[in-house]
Amino acid sequence: MNINKKWIVAGVVILLVILLYTSIKGNYNHMVKKDEGVKAQWGNVENVYQRRLDLIPNLVSTVKGYANFEQQTLTQVIEARAKATQVNINPDNLDEQSLKQFQAAQGELSSALSRLMVTVERYPDLKANQNFLDLQAQLEGTENRIAVERRKFNEMVQDYNSYIRQFPKNIWAALFGFDKKAYFEAEAGAEKAPKVDFGTN
């Protein structure tokens, strides 16, 4: 009888170990998958921001060719671009402070570009320049893509954060170092469909 009890206890222990192992393995793999998904989407966000950075030198060069164009406005764009290029985020460290720094630098660049486009309104010849019009259209398209990729990023982060906070996943998340990730903060008008108008502040 004692031997039978020992076998039963051993069987129960082995079953519990197998169930625990299966639970940990399954949850861990899902966390890795969701974490990698967030990192991949962050790459998409960086790509569209980089596209905007790449367009600016050509835009500045085109505008600079027009006599008496306000040098201060151009300088602000160049400085804001330089600052934005210096803020890089390690996708393994998508915390609130890093994302705020990134968003602040990109926000300054958006404001500088907006001021540039407002100033351009006073230069009819420049507004009619085909090269400028092409660059403006590309920038507007890029701004819309930025809004789309940011929204997708926030959705993936929300999914990841919700997953690692559920019980018992929160235990394994803490054990294996899966930390909560930060979101992009909503900007004014973010509740509306993405629309870019460089003609207004």
Query: What are the tens digits of pLDDT across the range 133-143?
Result: 999 999 999 99
Q: Could you give the domains of the chain? A: 2-176 (1.20.1440.20)
pLDDT at residue 54 greater than cutoff 90: yes
pLDDT, one tens digit per residue, over 133-176 is 999 999 999 999 999 999 999 999 999 999 999 988 999 899 89
DSSP 8-state secondary structure symbol assigned to residue 192: S
The CA-atom distances, in angstroms, between 36 and each of 26, 31, 172 are 16, 8, 17
Q: Residue with structure tokens 């919700």?
A: 162
Cis peptide before 91 (omega within 30 of 0): no
Cβ-proximal residues to 135 (8 Å cutoff; 6+ apart), any chain: 55, 58, 59, 62
